[in-house]
Structure 1
Amino acid sequence: MNQHQSDEANRIRVLIIEDDLRIAEVNRRFVEKISGYEVVGIAADKEEAKDQLELLQPELVLLDVYFPDMNGLEFLSYIKEHHPGSDVIMLTAAKEVDAVVDAIRYGVFDFITKPLIFSRLQQTLRSYQDFRKKIHVLKKEGESINQEEIDQLVHGSGVKSSKESRPVKGIDRITLEKITSYLMQTEEATTDQVSKETGISRSTARRYLEYLVTMGEANADLSYGVVGRPERVYRRGSKAKG
């Protein structure tokens, strides 16, 4: 097996269950920006979700809570009963305590609220990759497992509330999401362009853009125009030039 075939075999296949196809497409793009993941299907209702789960047998499911024809938490229970090999991350606008608690009790890997911040999803998907790698290593090493290894599996994955998952003080989630989405659409932008597009000041736009650079989600290069001083051009991390 060559390297390409090995990468294909190790890729984590994802099914998105979301009734709003526009949101589902944004989520697909977010997931596939992260190396090692592939979205193999999008289901918009209960029957589609059941069919694709049976057909595709994905390793990971991104599941919303609210659907016209079903309750996402009840469907989470269905997944755990009929497709125990598929892990679930909830991506939802639901923020009620009961919804979060029920999701955790059903064994959801993580629960992320909308509007979705790419850095938060990226953190969770990286954690999930680490979780699967640990399981693979443990199975290769033998059938027994010690307490330290159990602790790494239990506490090194799943729902988190660490400081890393929250933007720093002065960074608003909704504004950050607008700027992130704008960079995804344009591939590159200057501070002036972001300021005009989002309606915030140039200084605020620069602060958010530099925050994205610090988080590794964007890169900045100097652009030398015909006249005037050079200005910083920001690009999404995967689109950045060396």
Structure 2
Amino acid sequence: MKDIEVLIVEDDLRIAEIQKRFIEQIKGFQTIGIATSYIEARNYIEVLQPDLILLDVYFPDMNGFDLLKETKQETKQMDVIMITATKEIHKVQEAVSIGVFDYIIKPVVFERFKQSLTRYQEYYQSLLKLGKENLYVTQQQVDQLLRKEMDGELKDKSYLPKGIDPLTLDKVLEVMNKVDAGLTAEFVGKEIGVSRTTARRYLEHLISEEKVDADLAYGTVGRPERVYIVKRDSAIKK
């Protein structure tokens, strides 16, 4: 099967080059051009007919949403992933309503980028297969084609911040789920074979995910110690 051809539409060449290098690390994709302006983007789209466009919003000579609308109106066989620093909820809503495949907020993390392209690749290949084998499709086939989440590890673990390893996080979750009482970072660290500092980093991450609460335990001697307690009203899941 041929590679999925990608056009990068981004006026910052440094960012465009990063995206290109990201693409090179994902099997099955090929960058066929980088457009930094409206004219370049229109020419590339008309001549090269890419399968997928990675599109920013703000350019000196255009708004990416205008190009997105034109593309959707003129070329039905071309998909778009918005990659932008634009965070306003109404802009996200507009992008979704126009028909973007995904919306990624800068700065782009490689794992999030890879997840998006891998999901698109799955969609693209499924669409080609359905087109070859069927004139009409069933509801089940449509549901499978349009599902928004990947199975397996990419589904949740691609969003983990730097310094949080999914396997170690799983071990912390197992320990926390076994005990109803509050646990210290030192106890958790000993249970899974890591330092107190490392265990605390993972426990603080779980707090940020609103899966764990923290409190202070007062002993007979010494300073109060921070303990971590599972939020039982929202049970921890791997």
Same topology, TM > 0.5: yes
Superposition deviation, residue 115 in structure 1 = 0.5
Superposition deviation, residue 143 in structure 1 = 1.1
Q: Could you tell me which residue of structure 2 aligns to residue 24 of structure 1? A: 16
- SS of 2:33 mapped into structure 1: strand
Counterpart selection for 1:36 from 17, 25, 28: 28
Q: Could you tell me which residue of structure 2 aligns to residue 98 of structure 1? A: 90
Q: Counterpart amino acid of 2:10?
A: E
- SS of 1:163 mapped into structure 2: helix
The answer to whether the 8 A contact 2:123-2:146 is kept is no
Q: 1:163 to 1:157 in 2, by over 3 A?
A: closer
Q: Give the aligned CA root-mean-square deviation in angstroms.
A: 2.5
Superposed counterparts of 1:79-158, under 5 Å: 79-156=71-148
What's the CA shift string for 1:202-236, capped at 9, x where partnerless? x88xx9xxxxxxxxxxxxxxxxxxxxxxxxxxxxx
Q: 1:51 to 1:157 in 2, by over 3 A?
A: farther
What's the CA shift string for 1:80-136, capped at 9, x where partnerless? 112221100001101100110010011000000000000001011111111011112
Superposition deviation, residue 69 in structure 1 = 1.0
Counterpart selection for 2:45 from 41, 53, 61: 53
What's the CA shift string for 1:15-43, capped at 9, x where partnerless? 00000011101111001110111100000
Q: Does 1:163 align with 2:161?
A: no
Query: If you compute each CA radius of gyration, which structure gives the higher value, 1 or 2?
Result: 2
Q: Counterpart amino acid of 1:46?
A: Y
Give the share of equivalent positions with the same residue, in percent.
Answer: 47
| Distance in 2 of aligned mates of 1:169 and 1:52 | 36
| Distance in 1 of aligned mates of 2:157 and 2:76 | 29
| Distance in 1 of aligned mates of 2:116 and 2:137 | 24
| Distance in 2 of aligned mates of 1:99 and 1:46 | 20
| Distance in 1 of aligned mates of 2:93 and 2:120 | 20
What's the CA shift string for 1:170-229, capped at 9, x where partnerless? 75xxxxxxxxxxxxxxxxxxxxxxxxxxxxxxx88xx9xxxxxxxxxxxxxxxxxxxxxx
| Distance in 1 of aligned mates of 2:21 and 2:46 | 24
- SS of 2:59 mapped into structure 1: coil
Q: Counterpart amino acid of 1:13?
A: E
TM-score where L is the length of structure 2: 0.64
Runs of at least 5 residues in structure 2 that lack an aligned partner in the other structure: 165-196, 202-238
Superposition deviation, residue 153 in structure 1 = 1.2
Runs of at least 4 residues off by over 6 Å = none
Q: 1:170 to 1:157 in 2, by over 3 A?
A: closer
Runs of at least 5 residues in structure 1 that lack an aligned partner in the other structure: 1-5, 172-202, 208-242
Q: Could you tell me which residue of structure 1 aligns to residue 169 of structure 2? A: none
The answer to whether the 8 A contact 2:57-2:64 is kept is yes
What's the CA shift string for 1:38-60, capped at 9, x where partnerless? 10000001011001111110000
| Distance in 2 of aligned mates of 1:18 and 1:145 | 36
| Distance in 1 of aligned mates of 2:19 and 2:137 | 36
Q: Counterpart amino acid of 1:110?
A: D
